[in-house]
Amino acid sequence: MKLSEKIKWLIFDSGITTYRIAKEIGENVQTLDYYKKDSNKIEGMSLKRAEKLEEFINQHITEEELVKSMQDKK
């Protein structure tokens, strides 16, 4: 699964608020809300920010939970 797909799931479908994510990864809520308004912008996200989000995903969600949640969405 591509990192951009994981990030899109985190921001749009995980049920975790952008406030909580931003607070835990040290980003501004407005920055994450920018991506939430236009998911196409995620592809142009900085590598540093994408790595922070990936670390958040890895700490809070198992790969199995992520895959199941994405399958349930389809």
Run means of pLDDT, 10 residues per run, the chain, 74 residues: 90 93 96 93 95 94 77 69
| E strands present in the chain | none
Structural tokens at position 53: 């989000």
What pLDDT sits at residue 72? 75
CA atoms within 13 A on the CB side of 38: 8
Helix, strand, coil share (%) of the chain residues, nearest 5:
80, 0, 20
